[in-house]
């Protein structure tokens, strides 16, 4: 009987700790601390490369790279609202004052359509983010 009580107590403790751990994990981009993140599209059409977002977040501001393929990369800057990036400005390469700048009013990216990847950013990813920093901090 005592071993059953111990088993029940262990199960209850495990359940409580698991629930606390799940609740402690950030649910949205707004909940995440400042840092760099990779998001990958959850819906990919057949034969297409998955779209991804490389983000640098600080407070409610985000600078990022939107990659639609290995060659189609856009820099953007926007603002975080829960799990969305809103009111973004996007620029296509070449990143110059006379490049095509686009204002994306309202929802620019809904991160519910992406999943956060735990893969570390590569040197190439970091170089792409640095390039976008330079575009928006001139």
How many CA atoms does the CB half-sphere of 132 hold within 13 Å? 28
Q: List, for residues 28-80, the tens digit of each pLDDT value.
A: 999 999 999 999 998 766 656 668 999 999 999 999 999 877 677 899 999 99
The pair of three-digit structure tokens given for residue 10, joined into one six-digit string: 């262990």
* Other beta carbons within 10 Å of 44: 11
pLDDT band at 20 (very low <50, low <70, confident <90, very high): very low
Task: Identify the pLDDT of residue 43.
Answer: 77
Per residue in 83-122, pLDDT (tens digit) is 999 999 999 888 877 888 999 999 999 999 999 999 999 9
Confidence tier at 138 by pLDDT (50, 70, 90): low
Query: Cα separation of 4 and 119, whole Å?
Result: 42
Interior angle at CA 56, CA 53 and CA 60, nearest 5: 105
Our CA angle for 108, 95, 106, nearest 5°, is 15
Q: pTM to 2 decimals?
A: 0.75
């Amino acid at each position: 009987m005592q071993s059953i009580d111990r088993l029940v107590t262990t199960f209850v403790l495990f359940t409580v700790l698991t629930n606390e751990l799940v609740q402690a994990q950030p649910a949205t981009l707004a909940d995440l601390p400042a840092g760099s993140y990779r998001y990958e599209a959850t819906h990919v059409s057949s034969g297409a490369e998955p779209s991804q977002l490389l983000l640098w977040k600080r407070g409610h501001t985000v600078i990022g790279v939107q990659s639609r393929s290995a060659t189609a990369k856009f820099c953007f800057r926007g603002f975080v609202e829960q799990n969305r990036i809103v009111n973004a400005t996007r620029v296509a390469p070449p990143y110059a004052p006379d490049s095509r700048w686009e204002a994306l009013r309202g929802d620019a990216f809904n991160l519910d359509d992406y999943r956060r990847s735990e893969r570390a950013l590569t040197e190439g990813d970091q170089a792409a983010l640095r390039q976008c920093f330079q575009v928006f901090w001139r």
